[in-house]
A and B are shown apart, each in its own frame.
Chain A
Amino acid sequence: MKKIAIEPLQQPDRIINYWKKEKLVVAFIIVFGLGFNIATVLGPIYQGKLIDALLRGYGMHTVSKLAVTFILLISAIQFMRYLKRFYIRRFANKTIATMRLMIYNNIIGKSYVDLINENTGDLMTRALSDVDLCVEGMRKFTTEIFDTGVLMASYFVSMLYYDVKITILGALFIPAAMMIAEKLKNIIYKYSIAYRSKSSVITGMTFDYIENAMLYRISGLEVQAADKYSLELDDLQNKAIKANIFENAMQPIYNVIAMLGVIIVIYWGGTKVIEGGWSVGNFSTYMIMFAALATKASKAAKLFNSVQKSQISWQRIKPYLGEYKSKDPVPNFDEDHTDLVIENLRFQYPEGKEDIISNISLSARQGEIIGVTGPIASGKTALGQALLGLSPYLGSIRIDGKELRDYSEYERSQMISYLGHSPQLLSDTIYNNITLGGDEDITAVLQDVCFEEDLGAMPDGADTLVGSSGIRLSGGQQARIGLARTL
């Protein structure tokens, strides 16, 4: 299989751009979509011809010729349908990948301050099920422009050709069914929003219970947690039922409404056959087309809802779609010389209100090692955080005479190395956790942090997987991997 590139998109917050991006695929969809749906009317027409052939008592030869033509025709039509379906699905899959990439790029490109306020469960819901729902709506919309729009138009035109009066009166109820569906859409919309946001809450809770499963267990609170979960699930269930019931159950009702005209079709159509205006085959063709039209109309509600749901999801992911960002990896600082001057530094945590640090001044020269100590909650960690430059600070931190906040994020990351209380390991191999994508030799650095002995005991060596947050390693091992990475 050809390797498919998943590439960024410009102006990802405009939904139309996702179609524009896949020009070739969309072109195929249009060609095959039009071809299939216009040709589809030939199916019922030929079916009617077959019945007429029987009625008129044609010979075996003629009937079999007709039958073979019928099969070939249907095969050709269905082949176009296959191509249309295939390309629409490809479009959807590519769009899912593109959207997720753009969302991820946006998340990861956000500032540290913005990110610590994000809710993990909520983001996961957005990047996964919201993207799925949104793209499903886009897919259905694309499909139905042809399968509903074009198809209904071709049926309607063919039916007009058969009989103008019957068609106009018989099809009168079809728009009525669609209008009711359109009205109900707003109620469904309201319930869907409530359901989606509750769903996010549940995901967040689930994440909390799994992440802290050990804590709940040794405290004997796992049953209580499950009970609380149960209450929330009941609420979710009610919201889900409300959101889904109108959508799933109303279609048969729409179908009945759209089919109300069938009494006109049968009576007048039948009379027309009796009076010799139509053949029985014509009647049969017309009935099939009428029923198909009504069915399509009743499914239009599903289309509205799907598009609407897709809009809800689109609104939820849109804030996370921005221009593709990448860091400019051009360091613009003096690597051989560093001095640090802090003056009147004031700092608070992004989510806090009080200053953790106020009025600190110090200067450091090249080669100095400075230890910071003090009682707990006196701002030691905060000082480290301030010096990382990821959060805003007041006062001045100058490195080589330039304000820290004026350096680019990339430059700061190249100048400053940080190892926090938690080593922040990824669920990857030891090697990848240290190099983070580089291809350096890590033997020396592992020696520096006294890890060779530990490594020797692991059958997979540096390719050992560390587990979620490094859970398969001991606390000390995690810390040393973190240190090795920092070095």
Chain B
Amino acid sequence: MKNDLVKIALAKVVRQNKGIIALLIIAVLGVVLTSLIPPQILKIIIDRNLVPKSSDGLLYLAALYLGTLLFIGVFDFLKEAILTILGQKITTRIRLEMMYKLGKIKTRYFSAHESGTVVSRFTNDVEAINTLFTSGVVGMIISSFKIIGIVVSIWLFSYKLGMVTLLFLPIIYAITRLFQIRMLKAQIINRILVGKVNNHIAESLNNVLMIKSFSKEQYMEQNFTGYLRENFQTLEKVNFYDAVFSPIIQVLRAIVISCIVLLSAGKISLLGISLGMVAASIELISNLFEPVENLGMELQNIQQAVSGVGRVNEFYREPEDEEKNEKLTAAQIIPDRSAICIRFDRVSFQYENNLDILKDINITLDPQENVAFVGRTGVGKSTLFKLILGLLQPQQGVITLNGIDVCSIPNREKRKIYGYVDQSFHLIKGTVAEQISLQDESIGREQIEAALQYVGMLGYVESLEKGLDTEVSGDTFFSQGQKQLLAIARAIVTDPPLLLLDEITANLDSITEERIVSVMQKASQAHTILSISHRLSSVISSDKVVILENCRVKNAGSPEVLMQNDDWYRSHITLEKLTWK
């Protein structure tokens, strides 16, 4: 139960809608009971009127028949309407819970799953689950009540006939079950393939510049056709089962009816029932097969829903980040801006492929020290930052901020502690101001303006048609350098004491870079700055340089000291000077 999102959502919705549920139960009971009546009326008509050829009360019985149908119709209407409403409420609940889950799921989930595939869990899979309520499982439950009612009715005519009917039920069940299992397997594969198709479209749009400039449309289309073909082939398997189920049930029904007729035929009638009862039994048997057959019609939908449930629950069971200490606040962790101490204590980290990224890292960064991390690409510098941010959790060791494990810091406090500038700037949907605030309503307009002023973008933004409220329309709205500045503004808007800068100068021209670096330096009295840089020239202003190599800290010290005692550092500095001259 704890890990079954669909059940959790169902339970919540049931709890919140007790009145509607009660009405649903009444409607269901109404449908089940009233639908047993018409065959009984038919029996009376045959036995009292048709066989003895008397027209007494025929009109009255005909009216009664119609009246019963009216009641069935009303109850059925109620039932369907309530199910539609409840189904939608549950769908909404599931989506919302999934969104909450998304906020807690381990960071590495995102590197292991394509965005398009995850989106299809939120959309296609949840939509498939909804069919459970409109046409699937709930209908099945109601059908099983109906079946009980029908068996009881037949039993009342003749217990022998009731036993014959009971004999067939396991056969019907076995056939249905067999089909269900076969189809489920194919459906699960199919859902995965739908996710791939989904993702391929998203990816094609995201990489359109590359595809166009390399003329790789055909290659992309071939891959897409490949997914479509796989998809078609799994569906074709489902096809056979889906198409053959309902006809088999119909043949079975014919066999049962023949059995009843044979058993009551001749002078030595085994059942000893009237003709009216035979006719009514045939009618009831037909009613018995109707829900089963409907089930067959909906089998494909139900299967899709069941595999949808599986995938949604699988998502819901993904491991979450460690429980945060919700009581912690930024003010508690950092009472004094000038005293921030970060410690790496025997930290090792690897991604899911068991390849070491960082191994046994021990560093202590002293208060108000500006530290630069350098090393080859892929050596784990950005990973190190994500560890400090508490986004990733080390397999071994612990990273502490003023003695507090960074993994225990609640996300809501993070923006008050860290200002993180990523290598790439992600635009969100919204206005220029929202690019900075990320729609955080606690950030005021003055703060946004101040941040833009700080990075020197305020003038430009104000020159836009609607200033801060200009809607950002596309990826080329800002130049790369401007995006970099916006990323910095986004990081500093909350004035966090600790800045983590991952390659912030990579996209800047040297004049802007110089300005940024000087502004950063000016600000460094109020901030502790950790930075990653490829260009060592911009490292000079740091108090300490940490060189990473082969998953470990190769050397650490002030630039002057490293210049003296580290060959790698010295040769790179020289090399860089040569290129830029």
Report the bound CA distance from A445 to B278 in whole Å.
83
Report the bound CA distance from A352 to B250 in whole Å.
64
**A255 — which chain B residues lie within 8 A by C-beta?**
69, 73, 76
Instruction: Tell me the chain A residues, 185-242 only, with Cβ under 8 Å from chain B.
Output: 199, 202-226, 228-230, 233-234, 236-237, 240-241
Q: Are B58 and A253 in contact (CB under 8 A)?
A: no
Interface SS of chain B: helix, strand, loop or mixed? helix
Report the bound CA distance from A253 to B512 in whole Å.
72
**B74 — which chain A residues lie within 8 A by C-beta?**
252, 256
Assess A248 versus B134: contact at CB under 8 Å? Given A237-B89, A274-B55, A424-B210: yes
| Chain B residue with Cβ nearest A110 | B208
**A366 — which chain B residues lie within 8 A by C-beta?**
none
Q: Which 6 A-B pairs have the closest CB atoms?
A: A476-B377, A376-B481, A222-B103, A413-B215, A252-B76, A256-B73
Q: List 14 A-B contacts (CB under 8 A).
A: A85-B247, A214-B107, A216-B438, A223-B103, A226-B96, A228-B439, A248-B84, A256-B74, A326-B218, A374-B509, A436-B219, A458-B353, A467-B111, A468-B115
**A420 — which chain B residues lie within 8 A by C-beta?**
209-210
Q: Say which residue of B124, B232, B378 sits within 8 Å of A128 (CB atoms).
A: B124
**A287 — which chain B residues lie within 8 A by C-beta?**
42
| Chain A residue with Cβ nearest B487 | A215
Q: Are B80 and A248 in contact (CB under 8 A)?
A: yes
Q: Are A351 and B213 in contact (CB under 8 A)?
A: no
| Chain A residue with Cβ nearest B80 | A249
Q: Say which residue of A43, A253, A351 sits within 8 Å of B77 (CB atoms).
A: A253
CB B147 to nearest CB in A, in angstroms, measures 19
Q: Are B123 and A203 in contact (CB under 8 A)?
A: yes
Report the bound CA distance from A373 to B511 in whole Å.
11
- Interface digits, B201-212 against A, CB 8 Å rule (1 contact, 0 not)? 111111111111
Does B4 interact with chain A (Cβ within 8 Å)? no
Q: Say which residue of B77, B103, B424, B485 sits within 8 Å of A217 (CB atoms).
A: B103
Determine, out of B160-168, B259-267, B561-569, the stretch whose residues face the partner at the interface: B259-267
Q: Are A266 and B261 in contact (CB under 8 A)?
A: no
**A263 — which chain B residues lie within 8 A by C-beta?**
62-63, 65-66
Report the bound CA distance from A458 to B482 in whole Å.
36
Q: Say which residue of B194, B232, B477 sits within 8 Å of A351 (CB atoms).
A: B477
Q: Are B236 and A377 in contact (CB under 8 A)?
A: no
CB B415 to nearest CB in A, in angstroms, measures 5
Q: Are A271 and B55 in contact (CB under 8 A)?
A: yes
| Chain B residue with Cβ nearest A83 | B243
Does A184 interact with chain B (Cβ within 8 Å)? no
Report the bound CA distance from A366 to B282 in whole Å.
90
Q: Are A476 and B438 in contact (CB under 8 A)?
A: no
**B460 — which chain A residues lie within 8 A by C-beta?**
377
Q: Say which residue of A237, A413, A458 sits within 8 Å of B92 (CB atoms).
A: A237
Report the bound CA distance from A47 to B25 in whole Å.
36
Instruction: Tell me the chain B residues, 249-292 only, with Cβ under 8 Å from chain A.
Output: 250-251, 253-255, 257-258, 261-262, 264-267, 275, 278-279, 282
Q: Are B73 and A253 in contact (CB under 8 A)?
A: yes
Does B229 interact with chain A (Cβ within 8 Å)? yes
Q: Say which residue of A215, A229, A260 sits within 8 Å of B426 (CB atoms).
A: A215
Instruction: Tell me the chain B residues, 213-264 only, with Cβ under 8 Å from chain A.
Output: 213-222, 224-225, 228-229, 231-233, 235-236, 239-240, 242-244, 246-248, 250-251, 253-255, 257-258, 261-262, 264
Q: Are B58 and A70 in contact (CB under 8 A)?
A: no
Interface SS of chain A: helix, strand, loop or mixed? helix
Q: Are A280 and B58 in contact (CB under 8 A)?
A: no
Can you add 12 more A-B contacts, CB < 8 Å, to A117-B474, A327-B215?
Answer: A63-B265, A74-B250, A74-B254, A109-B217, A206-B119, A216-B103, A223-B411, A270-B49, A351-B477, A388-B209, A414-B215, A476-B534
Assess A90 versus B239: contact at CB under 8 Å? Given A115-B205, A236-B92, A287-B42: yes
**A60 — which chain B residues lie within 8 A by C-beta?**
262, 265-266
Assess A210 versus B80: contact at CB under 8 Å? Given A74-B254, A89-B242, A270-B49: no
CB A269 to nearest CB in B, in angstroms, measures 9
- Interface digits, B175-200 against A, CB 8 Å rule (1 contact, 0 not)? 00000000000000000001001110
Does A59 interact with chain B (Cβ within 8 Å)? yes
Q: Are A63 and B201 in contact (CB under 8 A)?
A: no
Q: Are A280 and B83 in contact (CB under 8 A)?
A: no
Does B116 interact with chain A (Cβ within 8 Å)? yes
Q: Are A208 and B429 in contact (CB under 8 A)?
A: yes
**A283 — which chain B residues lie within 8 A by C-beta?**
46, 50
Q: Are B415 and A220 in contact (CB under 8 A)?
A: yes
- Interface digits, A30-61 against B, CB 8 Å rule (1 contact, 0 not)? 00000000000001000100110111011110
Q: Say which residue of B69, B91, B507 sits within 8 Å of A421 (CB atoms).
A: B507
Q: Are B198 and A270 in contact (CB under 8 A)?
A: no
Does B408 interact with chain A (Cβ within 8 Å)? no
Does A427 interact with chain B (Cβ within 8 Å)? yes
Q: Are A437 and B377 in contact (CB under 8 A)?
A: no
Q: Are A104 and B122 in contact (CB under 8 A)?
A: no
| Chain B residue with Cβ nearest A63 | B265
| Chain A residue with Cβ nearest B63 | A263
**B104 — which chain A residues lie within 8 A by C-beta?**
222
CB A281 to nearest CB in B, in angstroms, measures 9
Q: Are B45 and A244 in contact (CB under 8 A)?
A: no
